[in-house]
Amino acid sequence: MSVPATAVRASILDRVLRDFASVAGGLPGDAAARARAAARLTELGWPSVRDEQWRYANLRAFEHLGAFRPAAGGTLDTELPAAVPGFERLIYLDGVQITGHHRLQDEPAADNSVASHVWPAEQRLGLLCDMFASDAARLTVRGEAAIEILFVSSGRAGAGAVYPRLQLQLQPGSHLRLIERHLGHAAAPALVACNLTVELGRAAALTHYRLQQYGHDTVFADTLWARLAEQARYTVRSVAVGAGTARTSALVQLAGRAAALAWQAIAVGRGEQVHDIALKVEHSAADTSTEELFRGIADERARVAFSGHIHIAASAPGSQARQSLRGLIEGAGAEIDLRPRLEILTDEVRAVHGATTGRLDEDLLFYMLARGIDRQTARALLKWAFLSDVLREIELPGLRAEAERLAAGQLQDVLAVGALS
């Protein structure tokens, strides 16, 4: 007998609320804020694939999660990546800080929008972290800084869930290079629900590298909100290869004149992995710009989806938007869904978008074969080339090598032929 979808959703929400009721009293920090988040999730309900924004998310994976309460008692049992020269490193284990100088203040300031952001319906999984997280990487940057944050899940994380949280404010004119890495014990079957809130002051600049490499048993719900003031620049370079199910719900608000977003991302899935990225950009001020570059590869039976919704309000004349979304289907049972969407409510806008999905270009393949390169190597080189638009933008050599290694790890033939060398 099949269970109606509404009943399944209700039961997930019930389990979330039950777990919340059982632990809420013991969690540190602002209890009222947690309760508000729980009330809002109750009001919005658990998302459904019938909603356009959640259509490609693998919500079914949440049904199989054991628990939503925060994991506890874990130890650092994962090998950490080499440090990046010039970057200060902070480590969060199962969502709680264990090293680094930047220490959490328990109570956010009342006027602190990065700490009190209210998630819209399409980002409602962000409420999980608001309900359960017991720590936050809360950074206020003045001047220049380079910080690496490792969010690490332990082997114990399976006993509960992990709630990494990053709240970031850049003061006017400041400049931050931020590396955010998500990694975990290979045997940690857990929910990782991560929240990021970012506020960039006037003419502030943030270059944000994101590497997600969880094990395939992890369900990763990633929610990001950013607001940019006048002339602020936000650059995201994201490499997602991990987690069995990964959903990114991102909202970037270009609120000040000439604010600029560059979002460059790759997602490589294999096996039964599902990568689903929903990025909404709101242009509400004049002369703002967005550049989106997405490259996704789906191998075997993986599903990769990218929804790029750009809304240019009447208050944003002179804005520019450029979307380049490309998907490569490698496996017979693989699926790629790319959805560019431009919504323009003003004149004087320059907007270009392109989305293509397909298999490897036969003309390129033939060119390489005609040079005597064997088919396996040629295919691997072309797959690798497909990702290069994004990978080559990572200008930190050590980090780029790491990102390349992670991406290549998803593409066995690339590793086999040594296309990395």
CA distance 336 to 296: 8
Residues with Cβ within 8 Å of residue 38, at least 6 apart in sequence: 17, 20, 24, 127, 131
- CB-wise, 261 or 411, nearer to other proteins? 411
| Residue 367 contacts other proteins per CB under 8 A | yes
C-alpha dist (Å) from residue 407 to 184, 271, 297, 402:
17, 14, 10, 9
Q: Which x/- pattern, by CB under 8 A, does the window 381-400 give for other proteins? A: xx-xxxxxx--x--------
Helices (H), 274-320: none
Per CB under 8 A, the list member of 25, 26, 85, 372 interacting with other proteins is: 372
Does position 363 interact with other proteins (CB under 8 A)? The reply is: yes
Please give the Cα distance from 281 to 421 (Å, whole number). 37
State the CB neighbour count (10 A cutoff) for residue 10. Answer: 13
State how far the alpha carbon of 213 is from the alpha carbons of 56, 161, 359, 385, 394, in Å.
Answer: 20, 17, 25, 21, 17
Please report whether residue 371 would count as binding other proteins according to CB under 8 A: yes
Contacting other proteins (CB under 8 A), which of 146, 364, 401, 415? 364
Q: 97, 166, 134: which is closest to 20 by C-alpha?
A: 134
| Interior angle at CA 38, CA 281 and CA 120, nearest 5 | 15
| 374 in contact with other proteins (CB under 8 A) | yes
Binding part of the chain for other proteins, among 8-16, 84-92, 334-342, 379-387 by CB under 8 A, reads 379-387
Q: Applying CB under 8 A, which part among 9-17, 65-73, 120-128, 358-366 lies near other proteins?
A: 358-366
Q: Which amino acid does the sequence have at 77? A: D
377 near other proteins (CB under 8 A): yes
**Strand, helix or coil for residue 20:** helix
- Applying CB under 8 A, the span of 59-67, 324-332, 346-354, 363-371 interacting with other proteins comes to 363-371
Closest to other proteins by CB, 24 or 368: 368
* Least spacing, CB of residue 361 vs other proteins, in Å: 8
| Part in contact with other proteins (CB under 8 A); list of ranges 166-174, 230-238, 348-356, 369-377 | 369-377
- Residue 50 as a binder of other proteins (CB under 8 A): the answer is no
Q: Please state the closest distance from residue 373 (CB atom) to other proteins, in A.
A: 5
- 375 is an interface residue for other proteins by CB under 8 A: yes
Decide: is 407 part of the binding site for other proteins (CB under 8 A): no
Kindly state whether residue 83 participates in binding other proteins, applying the rule CB under 8 A: no
> How many binding residues for other proteins (CB under 8 A)?
24
Segment lying near other proteins (by CB under 8 A), choices 217-225, 245-253, 276-284, 373-381:
373-381
360 is a site residue for other proteins (CB under 8 A): no
Q: Which of 207, 140, 201, 139 is nearest to 173 (CA)?
A: 201
Q: Helix 5-23 to helix 31-44 angle, to the nearest 10 degrees?
A: 170
Helix intervals (H) in 193-310: none
User: What residues are paired with 355 via a beta bridge?
Assistant: 325
Stretch that binds other proteins, among 154-162, 193-201, 230-238, 371-379 (CB under 8 A): 371-379
CB of 321 to other proteins, least distance (A): 23
Minimal distance in Å, beta carbon 324 to other proteins? 12
From the list 16-24, 276-284, 309-317, 380-388, the region that binds other proteins by CB under 8 A is 380-388
Provide the pairing of β-strand 205-213 with 350-358: unpaired
Does 368 bind other proteins (CB under 8 A)? Our answer is yes
Write the CA distances from 215 to 94, 274, 296, 335, integer angstroms: 14, 13, 19, 21
Which residues form the interface with other proteins (CB under 8 A)? Answer: 362-364, 366-375, 377-378, 381-382, 384-389, 392
